[in-house]
Structure 1
C-alpha cells in the first residue's frame, strides 16, 4: 500500500474515531440521564424494546449492509466512469430507497403490536407493559426512514473523502434525546414518551446535517438521473444478503432481548446498559476503522491491487487487536466500579449496578471478536463477495441461539450476554478460515505474532489493574467518589502498564500510533 494511502486511512480512522468518541461520551450522558429518570423499571424496559427495532435497522444499515453494499459500487463507478456518473447512480439509489423506506415505515407503525410480540413475547403477560411498548414503537419507528437515508449519504461522503460530518451525526441523536427528557418528560404522561420523541427528532436532524456537505461537493438531488441505474441493481444484489451477513451480533442482541423478556424484570435493561458500554470501544476502534478502511479496500479491489489490499487489511486487523484486547480486559476487571460510576443515581440502584456489571463482563469477553469481524467482512464486501458472509453468519447465528438456550437458565441474563460473545467468536473464526483460503497472504505471521503479543501484554496488564483496584477498594469504600477513583486508577495503571510493555516488546502498532499522533500535532 502506498504511503499516501496509509496516511489517508490513518487520517480517516483518526477523524472517525475522534467524532465517535464525542458521540459515545454524549451517549453515556444520555444513558445516565435515562438511568436517573427511569432506572431498570417497566418504562425503561418498554423503551429499550421499542428502540431496539429502529436501532437494529440503524446498525444493520447505517453501520452495516447499506454502507457495505453501496460504497464498493459507488467507488467502482467513480474509478471507471467518473464522478458525474457516480452521482447519477447515487440520485437513483436515493429516490428508490426513499420510496421503499416510506412503505416500510407505514407498515412498521401499523404492525407495531406484532413486532413487539416478536421481539419481547414475555411482555404479553403484563398488558400495561405491552401497551406502553407498542405506543413507543409507533413513535420511534419512523426514525428508520431518516436513518437509512443518512446511511446512504454517509456512504457517499466517506467515498468522497469526507468523514467528519457523517461520524458526528450520532451526536445529534444523543443531544436530541437528552434534551427531550429534560424538556418534555415532566410534561408528558407517560414520561418515557419524551425519549421516543427525541429519537424521531434526532433522525430528522441527522439527515439535515448531511445535505449541505453533499451540496458543497457538487451533488444535486434534482439533477437528471435514470430511474433505475444499473448500479442500483448491483447494490440490491449485494445488499439483500449483507443485511444478514453483517448482522450476527445485532441479531444475537435481539434474540437476547427476546429471551430476556421471559426472565426477571430488569433483565432487558441490564443487557441494554451493558451493551452500551461495550459499544464504546467497539464504535471508536472497530466500526470507525471499518468505516474508514472500506473505501480504500474497495478501490484496491476494483483496480486489482491485491498486495495493497493484503497490506491494508493486515494493518487494520493488527490495530484492532492492539486496541480491543486491553479494552476487553479492562472492562472485565473494572465492570462493577465503571457501571456504578456511570449509572448509579436516582432510580438506578445497587441491584441494577450488579445486574448490569454481570452482563458487561460476559459481553466484554467477545469485544475483540465483535471488532475484528467488521474488518474481515469489509474485505469480502470490498471484493463484492456477499455469499460467504451470509453462510458463515447463518452458522454463527445458529451457534449463538444454541448457546443462549443452553446458558439462559443456569446463568440468566449473563448467559445471554455470553452467548452473544461466543456467537461472534464463531463468526470471526469461520470468516477468517474462508478468507485465508481465498487470499492466502492476508493472515501473515506478522499479524499472528502481533495478536499473540497484544494478548500477552493485555493479560499482564489485567493482573496489575486487578491488584491496584483491590487496594483502592479496600481503602475507599463504596461511594461514588470511591468508584471514580477506582476507575481512574485502574485506567491509569492499565494504560501505563500496557504502554510500557508495548515499548519493551517493540510493538509496531504502538510505533504506528505514535507516528500518527506526531503527524496530527504538526
Structure 2
C-alpha cells in the first residue's frame, strides 16, 4: 500500500470519526445549548482529555513509536514483543495510581482549569470529572495499541476507534439525558457516562487486532514484574524520551489550560463557543495533519534506523506538499465561510443566532493558523523519528510565551475570538521554526519545484476565496432556521462547487495531481 493510500484510509476513517463527532456536538448544542452546565461538562471533559494528550497521544506516543520502530528494524519481532510487554506493565501500574489521584483531586483540577465557573457549575464539573477520569486509562492503552498497529501498517482499527466514543456520547445525549431527566437527575450528567462507555469500547476493539498479530501485551501484576519491566533497556529509553516530550506536550496543554481559564472569566458560553469552533477546526487538522502524522512517523523512524537520508527527506517533502495542497483551501474556507458552516451545523434548538456569530468569530481565529496547525503534525514527527524531542520542546516553550503575549493584546479587543487567533498565530510560528530546524540539520532538503507549486496553489485559493465570499454574502444562512434539509443541501452544493473550482484551477495551471498518489 502506498503512502497516499495509507494516508487516504486514515483520513477517510478520521472523517467518519469527525462526522459522528459533529453529530455529537450538534445534538449536544441542540439539547443543552451554551450554558453554565455545558461549560461545566466541557471543562470536566477537558481534564481527562488534557491528560490523554499529555501522556497517551502526546509524550508516550512520541517516545514509544520511534523506539518500537527502531527495535523492530534492528532486532526483529521477538525483541519487539518483549518491549511491548514491558512497556504495558509499567503503563498499567502508572495509570492505576494516576486514576486514584485524579478522582481524589478532582476539585483541585477543576479549579486549576476554570476557577471562574459558578458554584453550581463548579460542583457539576467536579462530579463529572470524577466519573470521567478513568477514561485516561482506557485511552492510554488505546495509544499503546495504536502505536503497535501503526508500526505494523495496520492503520484501519486505530483510525476508526474514535467513532465509538462519538456513538456512545450520541446515545448519552439522545437517550441517556432524557432518561436522567425523568429520574430527576441533571441530564448533562449522562454525558459523563457516555464518555466512560466510549473509552471501554475503544479499547475493546483493539484487542482482537493485536491478538491476530500475536502482539497482545502480557501485563505483569506482581511487584517483581514491575521492577523487571522498569529496568528493561527499551523501557528506560522510552521513559527517557518521554521526559522532554512531556514537557513539550505540556507547553501546548498549559496554553489550553490558560485559555480555558481566561474564557471562563469572559462570560457564560465563552468556553462552549471555543469548544464548538475547535470541533469544526479539528476536521481539517485531523483529516490532514493527524492522518499524515500517523502514517509518516513509523516510516520516518524506519528510514532513520536504516540511515536512508534520501527517503527520510522525500517523505517529509511529500507530506509538506500535501499540507500546502489541502490545508490552504481549508484555511481559506474557515476565514471566508465561517458563519455558513456554523449556522448549518449548529443553529438548531437552544443554539441561538448570537451563539452562531460568536462561534464563527472563534472559528475564523483558528482558521488563520490552520496551515501551521496541520504542518506541525508533519514537521514534529521529523524530529521525533530522529529521537530528538528537545528541539520541538524549546520551540514550543517560545511559542507559549508568544501566545500569552498575544492574548494580552487580542483578548481585550476580540474577547474569546482573541484566544483562538492567538493559538492560530502561535501555530504558524511553531511550524516555521520546526521547518527551519529540519532544513538546518540537513534532515529535510526541499525538492525542486516548490515556487511553481506554491503559485499554482495560491491562484486556485484566490478564486476559491472569491466564490466562498460571494456565497456567504448572497444567502441569509441564519434565515434557514427550521429548514435543515434545505440548508444542508445548499451547503453541500457550495462545498462541491468550491472543490470543483479549486482542483479545476490547479489542473488548468498545470499541476500534476498524480505525483501525490504515486509517492
If the TM-score is normalised by the length of the shorter chain, which range does it land in? over 0.9
- Is 1:370 the equivalent of 2:373? yes
Q: Deviations over 1:409-436 (max 9, x none)?
A: 1110010110111111111122112221
Q: Deviations over 1:175-198 (max 9, x none)?
A: 111112222212321111110111
Q: Which residue of 2 aligns with 1:163?
A: 155
From 127, 131, 134, the counterpart of 2:126: 134
Q: Which residue of 2 aligns with 1:69?
A: 63
- Is 1:58 the equivalent of 2:52? yes
- Is 1:97 the equivalent of 2:91? yes
Q: Which residue of 1 aligns with 2:353?
A: 350
The whole-number CA distance in structure 1 between the counterparts of 2:219 and 2:171 is 37
Q: Which residue of 1 aligns with 2:391?
A: 388
Note the 1:107-122 alignment, pairs <5 A: 107-122=101-116
Q: TM-score, normalised by structure 1?
A: 0.93
Distance 1:210 1:82, change over 3 A: same
Q: TM-score, normalised by structure 2?
A: 0.93
Q: Which residue of 2 aligns with 1:219?
A: 215
The whole-number CA distance in structure 2 between the counterparts of 1:110 and 1:448 is 56
Distance 1:19 1:328, change over 3 A: same
Q: Which residue of 2 aligns with 1:32?
A: 26
Note the 1:296-335 alignment, pairs <5 A: 296-335=299-338
Q: Which residue of 2 aligns with 1:419?
A: 422
Contact 1:248 1:424 in 2 (8 A): no
Q: Which residue of 1 aligns with 2:179?
A: 187
Distance 1:14 1:61, change over 3 A: farther
Question: Post-superposition shift, 1:275?
Answer: 0.2
- Is 1:153 the equivalent of 2:149? no
Contact 2:57 2:140 in 1 (8 A): no
Question: Post-superposition shift, 1:221?
Answer: 3.0
- Is 1:242 the equivalent of 2:245? yes
Mean CA deviation greater in 310-319 or 54-63: 54-63
- Is 1:450 the equivalent of 2:453? yes
The whole-number CA distance in structure 2 between the counterparts of 1:59 and 1:470 is 38
Contact 2:339 2:472 in 1 (8 A): no
Query: Which sections of structure 2, spanning at least 5 residues, go unmatched?
Result: none
3-state SS in 1 of match to 2:154: coil
From 234, 255, 262, the counterpart of 1:231: 234
The whole-number CA distance in structure 1 between the counterparts of 2:272 and 2:132 is 18
Note the 1:243-258 alignment, pairs <5 A: 243-246=246-249, 249-258=252-261
The whole-number CA distance in structure 2 between the counterparts of 1:448 and 1:381 is 28
The whole-number CA distance in structure 2 between the counterparts of 1:29 and 1:45 is 19
The whole-number CA distance in structure 1 between the counterparts of 2:43 and 2:445 is 40
The whole-number CA distance in structure 2 between the counterparts of 1:332 and 1:73 is 40
Contact 1:62 1:147 in 2 (8 A): yes
From 54, 79, 87, the counterpart of 1:85: 79
Question: Post-superposition shift, 1:139?
Answer: 1.0
How many aligned positions are there?
506
Question: Post-superposition shift, 1:218?
Answer: 1.1
- Is 1:430 the equivalent of 2:433? yes
The whole-number CA distance in structure 2 between the counterparts of 1:171 and 1:296 is 26
Contact 2:86 2:219 in 1 (8 A): no
Contact 1:468 1:493 in 2 (8 A): no
The whole-number CA distance in structure 2 between the counterparts of 1:63 and 1:321 is 25
The whole-number CA distance in structure 1 between the counterparts of 2:368 and 2:146 is 31
Question: Post-superposition shift, 1:486?
Answer: 4.5
- Is 1:484 the equivalent of 2:505? no
Contact 2:411 2:418 in 1 (8 A): yes
Distance 1:286 1:340, change over 3 A: same
Question: Post-superposition shift, 1:223?
Answer: 8.5
Contact 1:69 1:235 in 2 (8 A): yes
The whole-number CA distance in structure 2 between the counterparts of 1:39 and 1:472 is 25
Contact 1:267 1:413 in 2 (8 A): yes
The whole-number CA distance in structure 2 between the counterparts of 1:387 and 1:515 is 34
Distance 1:147 1:448, change over 3 A: farther
Query: Which sections of structure 1, spanning at least 5 residues, go unmatched?
Result: 1-6, 517-522
The whole-number CA distance in structure 2 between the counterparts of 1:441 and 1:130 is 48
The whole-number CA distance in structure 2 between the counterparts of 1:223 and 1:394 is 36
Question: Post-superposition shift, 1:249?
Answer: 4.8
Distance 1:477 1:485, change over 3 A: farther
Contact 1:58 1:147 in 2 (8 A): yes
